[in-house]
Amino acid sequence: MTKERPVIKKIIKENMSDFELFQNTTIRPIIKMQHELLLAFLNSYLKKRKIDFSSISEEKKKLKIKSILEKDIQFRNMVLGSILGHFSVDEYKEYYTNASEMNRRIIKITIQRYQDSF
């Protein structure tokens, strides 16, 4: 099975910083492309840890998702790896120059996608 990176046109604007441009041309399309896999990761995580999302409020779900991605380093690294694995060599070089900022952006976007999906 091959996946093609989606093009998200409406988020590319003039006067964007280099971070925003990389985020919107590389990171967001990869996260969108990997959405189903990322959901499978989270569902497996919840099942393994016996966390029942069906019985908690929307607000608590959002807080739990945020907490998982901020505090569980192993899960966080798995999510990051599933995104970084789709970078080209040039994209990786750009990512590597500011990896901590890029990781922060990747996790923030992923948290939002997860929260919107549950």
Q: Is residue 74 part of a domain?
A: yes
Q: Is residue 6 part of a domain?
A: no
For range 106-115, the mean pLDDT? 98
Q: Is residue 46 part of a domain?
A: yes
Give the chain's mean pLDDT: 94
The string of DSSP letters for 47-97 reads HHTT--GGGS-HHHHHHHHHHHHHH-HHHHHHHHHHHHTT--HHHHHHHHH
Residue 12 has pLDDT above 80, yes or no: no
Q: Is residue 11 part of a domain?
A: no
% the chain with pLDDT above 90: 81
Number of domains, the chain: 1
pLDDT for res 6: 83
pLDDT for res 13: 72
pLDDT classification of 1: cutoffs 50, 70, 90 = low
Higher pLDDT, 14 or 91: 91
The residue range of the domain holding 27 is 17-117
Residue 3 has pLDDT above 90, yes or no: no
